[in-house]
Chain A
Amino acid sequence: MAEEKKSLLRVHSYTKECIERYDGASSQQTKTSDAGPLVQMKLTDAIFDLCRANSLWPITFGLSCCAIEMMCCGMARFDLARYGAEVFRPSPRQSDLMIVAGTVNRKMAPAVVTLYEQMPAPRYVIAMGNCAIAGGPFAVEANYDVVLGVDTLIPVDVYIPGCPPRPEALIEGILQLQEKITGKRFPFPQNKMPKGA
């Protein structure tokens, strides 16, 4: 590798800056994480929220073990497609939901924040698994590298505990996120109860 290109390997760690930028954002959660468009009309907002809730596009952001459960969720048995969320986009520009599935450490933290900031608003974050919530099994004294919870970096909408959480738990998290977006569980046109249940 050419000498001048080796500087590309430097990763700027601006974890502290992120914490200051989004300080307390998780506690002041509103329906969307920013001010919103200039002209707001209640009925169209409600319709757009229904549309967004029923077609969340997650970003492929599996970091470690929880990623496998996220993949299982998108497959035939636990089918996330019935809630409109099976289209995992590789690019943050085309997605509106970031499911942080796995452990974030100090080297990965700037990448998480960069990806979050590249997502267009309105965007939502689900912290999946104990590691993303609060460091999980790595929140011990000997730890020197794991960020204790992704909500120290970016505002989180829904927390899904588990190590790893079952795919059903992830589906429940998606449903809770839909409730957060629209104000009611199973927003139109979803059925209130699954058929045959």
Chain B
Amino acid sequence: MDIKAVKTGWKKLAKAIEDVDYAVFGYDYSVSLEQSNVRDFATMMLDNGFYLVDLMAVHVAPSIEVVYQYAHVETRCRVMARAFVDSNNEIATISDIYQGANWHERETRDFHGVVFTDHPYLEPIILAEEDVDLKPLLKTEAALKDVDVVRRKQPEPKVETAAAKSQEPS
């Protein structure tokens, strides 16, 4: 797998790509996506031989962030792709591309209330049917934090490079 070719493909779709220190954070790349590019990104990853490790949501202000984790089987390459849901808590499904996402999306719906449009069967999977509105992992007003609080802090620019480095968006 040619990582450079894959990254070129990402550049067309992603808002931002960040190289991450594997020794500290445990993954290699963090890719920010628009909500509308999620499906194209997933198709591209499937064609390049990545498998879907995980799909989860994090409740931050202003809106819930859905994180997709992909990994490659032959060379070490772990990618976290992020996308924010829209104002109706909706985002496109990728369960027709990666069938494993079917259950992950149902679980995200259970815990966070994120609705995946065009999902074939978005019913509760882990919670009981009558708990469909429980959404236990949504944060209360007091506990909800802004999205910048949970982003990794960029290292301080060194004094030698006098001009302030513009911080890369996560």
At the interface, yes or no: A13 with Cβ under 8 Å from chain B? yes
Give chain B nearest CB distance to A33 CB in angstroms. 28
A-B contact count (CB 8 A): 14
Residues of chain A in range 5-59 having any CB-CB distance to chain B below 8 Å: 9-11, 13
A11 touches B128 (CB 8 A): yes
CA distance A13 to B130 in the complex (A): 8
Residues of chain B in range 107-165 having any CB-CB distance to chain A below 8 Å: 123, 127-131, 134, 136
Question: Main SS of the interface on chain A?
Answer: loop
CA distance A160 to B129 in the complex (A): 32
Where the two chains meet, the residues of B that have a C-beta atom closer than 8 Å to any C-beta of A are: 123, 127-131, 134, 136
Residue in B123, B129, B134 whose CB lies within 8 Å of A11: B129
Chain A residues with CB under 8 A of B123:
9
A144 touches B129 (CB 8 A): no
Q: Mark A149-164, 1 if CB is under 8 A from B, else 0.
A: 0000000000000000
CA distance A106 to B127 in the complex (A): 9
CA distance A145 to B129 in the complex (A): 13
**A and B contact pairs by CB, cutoff 8 A, 10 listed:** A9-B123, A10-B129, A11-B128, A11-B129, A13-B130, A107-B127, A107-B128, A144-B134, A144-B136, A145-B127
Give chain B nearest CB distance to A140 CB in angstroms. 13
Give chain A nearest CB distance to B32 CB in angstroms. 31
Give chain B nearest CB distance to A64 CB in angstroms. 15
CA distance A106 to B134 in the complex (A): 13
B128 touches A106 (CB 8 A): yes
A9 touches B134 (CB 8 A): no
Chain A residues with CB under 8 A of B130:
13
Chain A residues with CB under 8 A of B128:
11, 13, 106-107
CA distance A11 to B132 in the complex (A): 13
Give chain A nearest CB distance to B86 CB in angstroms. 27
CA distance A10 to B123 in the complex (A): 11
Complex: chain A residue closest to B130, CB-CB: A13
CA distance A107 to B131 in the complex (A): 10
Give chain A nearest CB distance to B115 CB in angstroms. 19
Residues of chain A in range 98-127 having any CB-CB distance to chain B below 8 Å: 106-107
Chain B residues with CB under 8 A of A107:
127-128
Known: A106-B128, A106-B131. 12 other contacts (CB 8 A): A9-B123, A9-B129, A10-B129, A11-B128, A11-B129, A13-B128, A13-B130, A107-B127, A107-B128, A144-B134, A144-B136, A145-B127
